[in-house]
Amino acid sequence: MRRVLLFANILLATGRTCAMADERTRGQQSDYNEQYRPQFHFTAPANWINDPNGLIYHDGEYHLFYQYNPQSRNAHWDDRPVHSASWGHAVSRDLVHWEHLPVTPIRSGSGSGIVDRGNTAGFGEGDEDVFIVFWAGSLSYSRDRGRTWTHYEGNPFLPKHADPFVFRHEPTKQWILVSFIHPDSPDDFLFYRSTDLRNWTRTNQYKGKLHECPSVFEIPIEDEETRKWIFHSGNGEYLIGDFDGKEFHEEAGKFRMDYGMFYASQCWHGTPPGDERIIHIAWMHGGRFPADMPFNQQLTFPCEFTLRRLPEGLRLCRQPVREIARLYDKVVVARDDAELEPGRNLLKGVEGDLFDIECDIEMRKATTVTLAIRGETVRYDRSKRQLHCGARQAPLELAGDRLRLRLLVDRASIEVFADRGQVAITHGWLPKPENQALALEVEGGVALVRRIRVNSLRSAWRQ
């Protein structure tokens, strides 16, 4: 949730199934080839989007719900009269190619979603799986994989609660809800527990370090048997600790998972059988798309979380999901052990607008390394120990004098991941159409490019 009027025009069609408003057929057509249209980052066909909501995986489909303004390409809080967002809906079988579904009847700020496997809460019939999404202290459920929705007749069961995040705590066999009171206390999170998803008992309050859009999940430490809990908020700041079913016990933090245009990250509830990844997506907030673009705002590319033990302690790291390889078109550059001296461009002649770039550079005598992407720069300053992307910067201490970078380049964005996602910067900009050039250069002395791979990408929206 971001500057959203949560309780204006909230649709409370209690106890009945709600028809879906098919926004795909009302001026929402697009060939997904406009000048600045992202080609592998999610956007709606038209109009404004922001926070991802209610992320669910079930039976081969990743469900993406998101804050959506069906009325215009303005933020819904900037429209007059101000109104609550709708929940848009899309599905994917691979996190890359998305099918737009009709807009849901949910009118609210941010929220979360779960699958009640076996209908334990009784919102469905028999032992069927039921989708349940939580929003503004209320819930809605679906018995047909999110195609139609029924609002719970007991809504709102937690009045004035915003951004509810619900998850299962298996050791205590109960559901946990984390939320805050809107608009009074966006930094004070309330914890509740329930066994039936209807009746909730408050167990604890967490104050002060985080802000809006809470999310809590358990994750293993990489290459260890120990597991930790992560508690993070809208701006990507997070805490590491333990959770006992009632209270989050903070052990370290707060830290940042991204230093750029990154807000309201949320993880998918569920993964395919045998897939233990924790996959998330966020709103790439603050993008400034021209008024002649029918859409406004985009989401980050889905990433996998890992918890790594670094010299400075445990840190949450994020890298693009492996499914990005489905879009690989050509290997444009493949070099190993190439010396790079000042004044030379290792990517001379390489042009395009969609890339996945990986490089491993031994700094040696170099003081700076610069990747130029269509006029924008990604630069590492060795003396300051800083990574820059455009005007954004992040601290980065190199391990063994090696600079390891991964860049996802779309038509109007760059996502930078350093040292296997230890540091990330999400950045948007509007390149000049005529500038398609890439460059890799150094200053101060010779560096050794141990490995570089540049893969051009196909559009996810056109076969």
Q: What is the pLDDT of residues 27-43, one digit of tens each?
A: 467 899 999 999 999 99
Q: Distances in Å between the alpha carbon of 245 and those of 46, 296, 393?
A: 41, 39, 37
The phi, psi pair for 322, rounded to 5°, reads -65, -20
Q: Per-residue pLDDT averaged across 252-256, rounded? A: 94
Q: Per-residue pLDDT averaged across 20-26, rounded? A: 45
Q: Report the pLDDT value the prediction gives residue 91, as an integer from 0 to 100.
A: 98
Q: Report the pLDDT value the prediction gives residue 1, as an integer from 0 to 100.
A: 54
Question: How many Cβ atoms from other residues are within 10 Å of residue 410's Cβ?
Answer: 23
Could you give the CA distance from residue 359 to residue 220 in angstroms, rounded to a whole number? 27
pLDDT digits (tens, 9 = 90+) for 404-443: 999 999 999 999 999 999 999 999 999 999 999 999 999 9
Residues in the chain: 463
User: Is this model's pTM higher than 0.85 or not?
Assistant: yes
Q: What is the DSSP letter of 301?
A: P
Tell me the two tokens of residue 396: 């980065």
Q: Report the pLDDT value the prediction gives residue 11, as an integer from 0 to 100.
A: 44
Q: Report the pLDDT value the prediction gives residue 224, as an integer from 0 to 100.
A: 96
Among candidates 140, 209, 151, which has minimal Cα distance to 16? 151
> pLDDT tier at 169 (50, 70, 90 boundaries)?
very high
Could you give the CA distance from residue 240 to residue 230 in angstroms, rounded to a whole number? 5
Tell me the two tokens of residue 192: 């509740």
The phi, psi pair for 412, rounded to 5°, reads -140, 25
User: Which residue, chain included where needed, has tokens 């949730």?
Assistant: 1
Residue 69 and residue 48 in contact, taking contact as beta carbons nearer than 8 Å: yes
- CATH class of domain segment(s) 17-322: mainly beta
| CATH number assigned to the domain covering 328-457 | 2.60.120.560
pLDDT digits (tens, 9 = 90+) for 58-75: 999 999 999 999 999 999
pLDDT digits (tens, 9 = 90+) for 91-150: 999 999 999 999 999 999 999 999 999 999 999 999 999 999 999 999 999 999 999 999
Q: Report the pLDDT value the prediction gives residue 9, as an integer from 0 to 100.
A: 37
β-strand 98-101 against 130-135: which pairing, if any?
Answer: unpaired
Query: Where are the chain's structural domains?
Result: 17-322, 328-457
Q: Residue 51 pLDDT more than 70?
A: yes
3-state SS, residue 16 = coil
Count of CA atoms in the C-beta half-sphere (13 A) of 308: 15
First to last CA, the chain: 34
Rg for the chain, CA atoms, rounded: 22
Query: 3's torsion region: left (phi>0), alpha (psi -120 to 50) or beta?
Result: left
Q: Provide the sign of the torsion angle of the four alpha carbons 94, 95, 100, 104, taken in this order.
A: positive
Q: Which residue has the higher pLDDT, 24 or 153?
A: 153
